[in-house]
Structure 1
Amino acid sequence: MGVLLALASAVSYGLSDFAGGLLSRRASFAGIALWGQLGGLLVALLATLVLPSPAVTAADLAWGALSGIGTGLGMLFLFRGLGRGAMSVVVPLSAVGGVSLPVLVGVVFLGERPSALAWLGVLLALPALWLVSGGRAGKGVPDGLLAGTGIALQYLALAEAGPGSGAWPVVAGRVAAVGTIMLATRPKPARKIAVPAAATGGAAALALVCYLAATRHQLVVVAVVLSSLYPAIPVLLGLTVLHERLSRRQLTGLGAAAAAVTLLAVG
């Protein structure tokens, strides 16, 4: 069950990024991010009816809200980057940053001691970012890196919520994400994209819920590795459906990024 939930998380994240990227090329990235988080809030509320929450505390909700601030900022930069640059470049950049930064924060501020594999992943992430970006700050590259910072905050804060809190930290996070997006951009969301944008956010929230559920049925390291496979979906769809063209250097970087994410997750 845990393996299936973790894979479901990866699929939901991947499809959400791909669909959000397509929408970002047709409408305001801020409007897409806002509708997305509203759709995610609905899914998270429904998840509270399924996931048991015997011991929800104010601290759990506070960590969830902090996580949501990272989500809101991360999605703004991600969708802006997807609207400007290649999906097969922006998503891997955000993914590597989202996984490697929590490791560095744990070392510098929390006194954690990662394994040799995790350190290898960090070292591999640096050239991977350079190779995927093509060695320059092209279209969408800065946004992908900034999105990774927001995603890292999302994961770092959500990890602090207690196991007895169910999906309520995710609910608090969606509320905080909506507030963050509105304060940061004051978007004017077009109604014509409301349903598809809300669906992308609902898929992302479902991915978080599946990940939390997976960690309660499976070893955390297994759940993290499997759910971290999500960039493969938008990358493959970007290359095959959208016919995005990448240089040999960028393709090498994609392989290095995949290896870095796996090593960081395992470590």
Structure 2
Amino acid sequence: MGPLLALASALCYGIVDYTGGILSRRAPFTAVTFLGQLGGLALASVAALVIPASSVHPADLLWGALSGLGSGTAMHFLNRGLSRGAMSVVVPVSAVTGVALSVVCGVLALDDRPGALAWLGIAVTLPALWLVSGGRAGAARGAGDGLLASAGVAVQYVALGLAGPAAGLWPVVAGRVAAVLLLLPTVLRRGPAWLPRPLAAQALLVGAGAALGLILYLLAVHRQLLAVAVVLASLYPAVPVVLGLALLHERVTRRQTVGLLGAAAATVLLTLG
């Protein structure tokens, strides 16, 4: 069940990455990011009320809040990079580096001990993600956004994984509150960037999708090793490629084909490991 939940999280994030990237080129990325966190807060709050929590400790909420600070940072720099048209740089750098940092934290700090097959799957995942995203080097500006986003991704995943199962989904709610508060000064400093109603609704839905991805990840990490859940959840860059093929009739490159096959192999290895 854990691997399926982590893969469902990857699917959510892939769809969010695809739609959010397009939206960030049509509207100010700060407004898209902020409204997205509000949409995520709304969905997470409803889900937390529906799914009971047996015992919520302050430490669980603090871990959730730290995860939210990572989420807000990751989405801010990811959307900034996407708004600059550096998707081929930002996505692979943020995904691959975020996975690597999260796995290292899981092994060194949380005493995760993946099996041999899981380690092989982790090793396959890193180059596969890079190839799926295009496998191209880019401008330092885009790479910098990707590195900053990847640090946020690692904090998001590791901190949320430290929240206790008894806390239910309230750590995700605490994270959305922290993300909103983190981004609020930037929005106020830049002045209100009101979006047309259709774009604002899309931004709220994108944020709700990201929150759903986090909820699925949290449920997954309570059922398996954090290192494995992170890697499976981070296969999301494959989704925009598939959506581009299906919806935009784009042509996949040879590198991306190899990357997609590698991602599929990594999924099997991680599930068996």
Pick the TM interval, shorter chain: 0.7 to 0.9
Unaligned runs of 5+ in 2: none
Residue in structure 1 matching 2:224, options 220, 224, 240:
220
| Paired AA for residue 149 in structure 2 | A
**Per-residue deviation at 1:100?**
2.1
Q: What is the CA distance between 1:215 and its match in structure 2?
A: 5.3
In the other structure, the counterpart of 1:150 is: 152
1:43-102 superposed Cα distances (whole Å, 9 cap, x missing partner): 111011111111101100100010001000100122122223465664444333332211
- 2:50 alignment partner, SS class: coil
Q: 187, 194, 199: which is aligned to 1:190?
A: 194
CA RMSD of aligned residues (A): 3.5
Could you say if the C-alpha distance between residues 189 and 238 of structure 1 is closer, same or farther in structure 2, counting changes exceeding 3 Å?
Answer: farther
Residues 228, 262 of structure 1: 8 Å contact kept: no
- 1:92/1:19 Cα in 2 relative to 1: closer, same or farther (>3 Å)? same
Q: Is the 2:15–2:240 Cα contact (8 Å) retained in structure 1?
A: yes
In 2, the alpha carbon distance for the partners of 1:145 and 1:190 equals: 29
Q: Aligned pair 1:45/2:49, yes or no?
A: no
| C-alpha contact 2:89 2:138 (8 A) present in aligned 1 | no
For the residue of structure 1 that corresponds to 2:212, the secondary structure is helix
Could you tell me the percent identity over the aligned residues?
56
TM-score, normalised by the number of residues in structure 2: 0.79
In the TM superposition, 1:121-132 aligns within 5 A as 123-124=123-124, 127=127, 132=133
Distance 1:121 1:8 in 2: 18
Query: Structure 1 108/133 Cα, relative in aligned 2: closer, same or farther at 3 Å?
Result: farther
CA contact (8 A) 1:87 1:238 kept: no
Which residue number in structure 1 is paired with residue 214 of structure 2? 208
Distance between the aligned counterparts of 1:17 and 1:72, measured in 2?
14
SS in structure 1 at match of 2:243: helix
Q: 1:116 to 1:263 in 2, by over 3 A?
A: same
- Contact in 2 for aligned 1:24/1:83 (Cα 8 Å): yes
Q: Supply the distance in 2 between the matched residues of 1:126 and 1:7 (Cα, whole angstroms).
A: 16
Q: 1:230–1:125: structure 2 CA closer, same or farther, 3 Å change rule?
A: closer
What is the DSSP-based 3-state SS (H/G/I as helix, E as strand, rest coil) of the residue aligned with 1:220? coil
Higher mean C-alpha displacement, 85-94 vs 62-71: 85-94
Deviates more, 1:100-109 or 1:255-264: 255-264
In terms of mean alpha carbon deviation, does 25-34 or 239-248 score higher? 239-248
1:22–1:150 CA distance, 2 compared to 1 (3 A): same
Residues 148 and 45 (structure 1 numbering): CA distance in 2 closer, same or farther, change over 3 Å? same
| 1:113-172 superposed Cα distances (whole Å, 9 cap, x missing partner) | 544445545555665576556452247444334322211110100011011111110011
Q: Give CA deviations for 1:217-243 in whole Å, capped at 9, x if unaligned.
A: xx4269937644433221212345446
